[in-house]
Structure 1
Amino acid sequence: MANGSNKHRIALVGTGHRGAGMWGKELLAGWSDAVEMVGICDTNPLRLRRARDTMEAHDAPIYTDVDTMFAEARPQRVIVCTPDHTHDDIIVKALEAGIDVVTEKPMTTTAAKAKRIMEAERRTGRRVDVTFNYRYAPTAARIKELLLERAIGDITSVDFSWYLDNRHGADYFRRWHAYERNSGTLFVHKSTHHFDLLNWYLQSVPRQVFAYGDLKVYGRNGPFRGDRCRTCPHASHCNYFFDMSKDPWLEMLYEDPSREDGYVRDACVFREDIDIPDTMNASILFENGVQASYSLNAAMPIEGYRLAFNGTKGRIEVRQYEAQPWVEPPADEILLIRSFQGVERIWVARAAGGHFGGDDRLRNMLFREGMEDRLGQRAGAEAGAMSLLCGVAAATSMHENRPVTIASLLE
């Protein structure tokens, strides 16, 4: 708060889909009583102007560099929504300018960058929040409650499989995420969500990881390829053809602005220089002794996950569907299977909004005063680091065919 105002003075860096949407238009529409947008920054001037218009933040100054924005706009908090590998520079500059940070996940992409952010947070006394919205989903919260209640005793192992469908999964291979230098692979960019959930559920952190990964569907595996979908001669018979012109939101943010910086939103998923895997498996040993088996597949006909906790007194099973070619009930089923006692079926209703209502709950936690955090859902820099370091360890193990300890990454 500033000058007696009851609003948070916020600035936004990065006006792509997530920045202009969840942290721009949606935030200003639903939390206008709690936040004031005092600056918007992007390196693409046309996207920047269009994003401000669609946010209806007409009074907010726009900038193409963060240093000027921090000095002139003097925000209390900055929201970072740029490509993953750029997060650390922006976060550290903000902290050193006395500004708290809300950053999209992953917090960053390498161990060195994570150490840099945590050191800056300690040195400046400012705060970093990482936007792990899956913690706030109703089903995740109910699972956390059951584990805190020790409903199945001590946890011994976890089975966790996440499925990205042929729409969502393919999208990562159209964009900047398809190169390890930008995203750290999906082990970092996407799995950071899942590794964070495991850390949060288990109240522990990973000790050692052994992982495999390969590119099985996209990239060099394609039967044909072009530069991008809009100009592709194979569009009529490619299952992955994406007509961005039918999505006015993406068309507005990316098509004309691509002339400013060359970044297109519909690049071919079969580009031969794609260097991240689409099929991944990892074995994780946690500091508290729990063993976890994890997989991520990015070219499935379904979207969602399977999750099971094995305990000394039973088992918890969850199968959550986000998209599938059949009708599912509008609620999630948790099976609580106590040893020698049968099964209890727990139904958890889904809430409206992104991530089954998790997005709204996250924004409430960050910007509403007096929010209770009894489940420890609010995540800081250490949580951000522990989740991404698990991904870095998995990617390193995949490349070097050896187990990797988290301690070795931090040395």
Structure 2
Amino acid sequence: MQATRHEEGPERHRVALVGTGHRGAGMWGKELLQGWRDRTEFVAICDVNEMRATAARTAIGTNAPVYTDVDEMLASVKPEIVIVCSRDDTHDEIIVKALEAGCRVITEKPMTTTPEKCRRILEAEARTGRPVDVTFNYRFAPTAARIKQLLREEAVGTVTSVDFHWYLDTQHGADYFRRWHAKEAHSGSLFVHKATHHFDLLNWYLESVPREVSAFGTQRNYGRNGPFRGERCQTCSHARDCDFYFDMSKDPWLTMLYEDPSAEDGYVRDACVYREDIDIADTMTAMLRFENEVIVSYSLNTFMPIEGYHLAFNGTKGRIEVRQYERQAFETPDHDEILLMRNFGGVERIRVPHAGGGHFGGDDRLRDMLLRPGMTDPLGQRAGALAGAMSMLCGAAAVASMKSGRPVRLAELGGLPA
């Protein structure tokens, strides 16, 4: 995490945080106040669960008042910025209300979960003249920035196709199936919740958007595939036999944010990954054809022994390739290595050191971009509502294709204003 910095400049932003789960209370709460105290002042903490909001307020280190109702919060404290970290399917209602109250909005990804909600947000942004920023922190990772520079320099000529394969390990991947994300109604599926990051990277790298998506998805490991099941890990009689047993009591942070507050709303953070009502895919693949005729092969797997991704850009003059390591089953270096391979030429190995903080420094750079004055953006890393909509619509098209068994054009989804 970035150390607290102090600099001369305008007075601090009046910030309201809506949604105090792990991401909200952490990156956009405690870490924000520690590293950007000179730029931010919390004026409200809001969550439908009052116990969670109160616990998060203490952990963040603020005396801001706690609210459980967004309308009351907006009317009472009149924030300048509203940071939205609530459940994905609730984003649109909060974003629109904040915009109509005259606030600037910073929202976690995905911006929302359905094409109709995308259109509603874009129409509200245009109607109110207030901006929405979507927190696509992967754009700000050092390796992503270096790849973007190479593509802008046409280091491999014109890009013709992309291979993009993302791997979630048995720790990270399983977590989605313990939480509310396991229901499509709440998350839009992992084609929306998780892949929105990846589709956004593609849109940003290629400076284009998909025209058509063909996708397949299936549930092969979680849900009904389990050899046994319970309600939650804490009370499960199969704890000794389950590879996915998760003892949340060993994590004071998660216990504070979820276990005690569960008495108020019944939401538990360690639900069984083998619940029969899980309705999202855990194994996914998609083919995307972009407006600039680039074709992409994409996949997402959620129960691997490795964490990270493989990405390659194939061009008329060569290939850019990177294997990015997060948690692995083997020792990994403290840097990424981009291979720049030119047709009829040699290989250039470009070493990119990892920076400190989340997403190899991407989280800090994102917060700087959104909260510090005078930040330049030569690579176009800052993402607005349209970028949020286009990445979400890629996921929605993939879900529609997966269910219908046919290619789906983004234009038919109706997610953009007429």
Q: Tell me the TM-score normalized by structure 1.
A: 0.98
1:85 matched to 2:109 = no
AA aligned opposite 2:52: R
2:388 corresponding residue in structure 1: 384
Give the match's secondary structure for 2:20.
Answer: coil
1:166 corresponding residue in structure 2: 170
- Distance in 2 (alpha carbons) for counterparts of 1:327 and 1:175: 30
Equivalent position to 2:153, from 149, 154, 172: 149
2:182 corresponding residue in structure 1: 178
1:335 corresponding residue in structure 2: 339
2:371 corresponding residue in structure 1: 367
Question: Which residues in structure 2 correspond to 1:40-59 (within 5 Å)?
Answer: 40-58=45-63
- Distance in 2 (alpha carbons) for counterparts of 1:5 and 1:11: 18
Equivalent position to 1:298, from 285, 296, 302: 302
1:30 matched to 2:30 = no
- Distance in 1 (alpha carbons) for counterparts of 2:96 and 2:50: 23
- Distance in 2 (alpha carbons) for counterparts of 1:377 and 1:7: 23
1:322 corresponding residue in structure 2: 326
Equivalent position to 1:12, from 9, 13, 17: 17
Q: CA deviation at 1:342?
A: 1.2
- Distance in 1 (alpha carbons) for counterparts of 2:56 and 2:13: 20
Deviation per residue, 1:69-108 (Å, 9 max, x gap) = 1111111110000010000000000011111100000000
1:241 matched to 2:245 = yes
Deviation per residue, 1:12-48 (Å, 9 max, x gap) = 0000000000000000010000011011100111111
AA aligned opposite 2:94: I
Question: Which residues in structure 2 correspond to 1:41-120 (within 5 Å)?
Answer: 41-58=46-63, 60-120=64-124
Give the match's secondary structure for 1:323.
Answer: coil
- Distance in 2 (alpha carbons) for counterparts of 1:201 and 1:180: 28
1:220 matched to 2:212 = no
2:5 corresponding residue in structure 1: none
- Distance in 2 (alpha carbons) for counterparts of 1:56 and 1:76: 20
Q: CA deviation at 1:9?
A: 0.8
1:255 matched to 2:259 = yes
Structure 2 gaps of 5+ residues are 1-8
Deviation per residue, 1:139-182 (Å, 9 max, x gap) = 00000000000000000000000000000000000000000000
2:3 corresponding residue in structure 1: none
1:194 corresponding residue in structure 2: 198
Give the match's secondary structure for 1:18.
Answer: helix
- Distance in 1 (alpha carbons) for counterparts of 2:259 and 2:80: 33
Equivalent position to 2:215, from 199, 211, 215: 211
Equivalent position to 1:285, from 260, 266, 289: 289
- Distance in 2 (alpha carbons) for counterparts of 1:252 and 1:41: 16
- Distance in 2 (alpha carbons) for counterparts of 1:313 and 1:5: 48
Q: CA deviation at 1:132?
A: 0.0
Deviation per residue, 1:233-275 (Å, 9 max, x gap) = 0001100000000001001110010000000000000000100
Give the match's secondary structure for 2:240.
Answer: helix
AA aligned opposite 1:155: V
- Distance in 1 (alpha carbons) for counterparts of 2:408 and 2:224: 28
Give the match's secondary structure for 2:276.
Answer: coil
Give the match's secondary structure for 1:379.
Answer: coil
Q: CA deviation at 1:308?
A: 0.3
AA aligned opposite 2:19: G
1:121 matched to 2:122 = no
User: How many equivalent residue pairs?
Assistant: 407
- Distance in 2 (alpha carbons) for counterparts of 1:67 and 1:221: 42
Task: Determine what percentage of the aligned residue pairs are the same residue.
Answer: 70
Runs (4 or more) in structure 1 with deviation over 6 Å come to none
Give the match's secondary structure for 2:326.
Answer: strand
AA aligned opposite 1:273: D
AA aligned opposite 2:357: G
- Distance in 2 (alpha carbons) for counterparts of 1:407 and 1:100: 28
Deviation per residue, 1:356-381 (Å, 9 max, x gap) = 11000000000000001010000000
Give the match's secondary structure for 2:56.
Answer: helix
Q: CA deviation at 1:5?
A: 5.5
Question: Which residues in structure 2 correspond to 1:392-407 (within 5 Å)?
Answer: 392-407=396-411
Q: Tell me the TM-score normalized by structure 2.
A: 0.97
- Distance in 1 (alpha carbons) for counterparts of 2:412 and 2:133: 25
Equivalent position to 1:274, from 272, 275, 278: 278
Structure 1 gaps of 5+ residues are none
- Distance in 2 (alpha carbons) for counterparts of 1:62 and 1:272: 36
Give the match's secondary structure for 2:403.
Answer: helix
Give the match's secondary structure for 1:252.
Answer: helix
